[in-house]
Amino acid sequence: MAYDGNVALTDVTFEIRHPSFAVILGPNGSGKTTLLKAMLGMLRPLKGSVRILGYDPLVDQEKVRSIVGYVPQKERVSTEVPLEVRDVVEMGIQIRKGLPRITTADDLRQTSSVLKMVGSGDLEGKLINELSGGQRQRVMIARALASNPKVLFLDEPFIGVDARGQKSIIGLLEELNAEKGISILMVVHDFNILSEHIDVLLLLKNRLISYGPPLEALTQEALEEAYGPGSRVLNFAGVCYTMTGDTHHG
């Protein structure tokens, strides 16, 4: 993958079993969002290919859209238009329809259903711009779930969400993975909040440094290669934690 002639990401080869709970980790500018967008078919690789449950997102665009839900890093929902939560979630259904996009009774039922699924059924009639960061992020997850995806991609879903909200969202994602069989692939800045919960870690720094179960992929050598000297891997009771000097710039 390249931007303005500069290669942003190279030598990335991996396979993740379905359904898994996976995290993409790396310092700022390491290509995390680039990888996610390539997997979604939003960017075209200079070479190589991507398959999502066997489908090429560049060739089988409609099929991939039907099986993948996406929560982008910076979701812009207009605060000028007084959108209710139900309207925002329903967009996740309507965007996959051809014209004319007409709301049906089934659409309304599905909207209510996914809001209840994420524990936000009581917010259906609230205005989106009146919600807390954690509440809003649950609504965005509900919108991504509205099309009944088999895979859910999330790009930095904890930005602007307090610790309590983060814990709540992690619990929701675990439930979707374990009980609904949805694969979760998430770009995160802070691995430690998820260290106990995930199956697979992909560590990037403009290439794939390592991937696999966290205890195997997150070695001291790999972490230093990604974040530089002074980074540390801590193992406690069979769980990995990291100490890095990386800061997030949004």
| Tens-binned pLDDT, residue by residue, of the chain (250 aa) | 555 556 678 889 999 999 999 999 999 889 998 999 999 999 888 888 999 999 999 999 889 988 999 998 866 665 667 789 999 999 888 777 666 677 888 889 999 999 999 999 999 999 988 898 899 999 999 999 998 899 999 999 998 888 888 999 999 999 999 999 999 999 998 889 998 999 999 999 999 999 999 999 999 999 999 999 989 999 888 888 898 866 554 4
**Assigned domain for 249 exists:** no
What is the tens place of the pLDDT at every residue in 156-176? 999 888 888 899 999 999 999
Residue 77 CB contacts under 8 Å (≥ 6 apart), including other chains: 83, 88, 128, 129
**Assigned domain for 248 exists:** no
> Does residue 229 have a cis bond before it (omega within 30 degrees)?
no
Structurally, the chain folds into a number of domains equal to: 1
H helices present in the chain, as ranges: 32-40, 61-67, 85-94, 105-117, 133-145, 163-180, 214-217, 220-227
The predicted pLDDT at position 77 comes to 62
Q: What secondary structure does DSSP assign to 36-77, as a single string? A: HHHHHTSS--SSS---BTTB-TTTSHHHHHHHEEEE-SS---
Whole-number Å distance between alpha carbons of 74 and 61:
23
**Assigned domain for 107 exists:** yes
Using alpha carbons, list the distances in angstroms from residue 3 to 34, 50, 56, 65, 209: 10, 19, 22, 24, 21
Q: What does pTM read for this prediction? A: 0.88
**Assigned domain for 157 exists:** yes
Cα Rg of the chain (Å, integer) = 18
Using alpha carbons, list the distances in angstroms from residue 184 to 5, 21, 109, 130: 31, 5, 24, 28
* CATH code for the domain of 190: 3.40.50.300
**Assigned domain for 100 exists:** yes
Which structural domain, as residue segments, surrounds residue 70? Answer: 2-243
**Assigned domain for 23 exists:** yes
**Assigned domain for 136 exists:** yes
Q: Per the structure block, which two tokens stand in for 143?
A: 């919108």
Each as own residue / partner, the long-range contacts of residues 223-232 (CB below 8 Å, 24 or more positions apart, any chain) are 226/25, 226/26, 226/27, 226/30, 227/27
Whole-number Å distance between alpha carbons of 81 and 83:
6
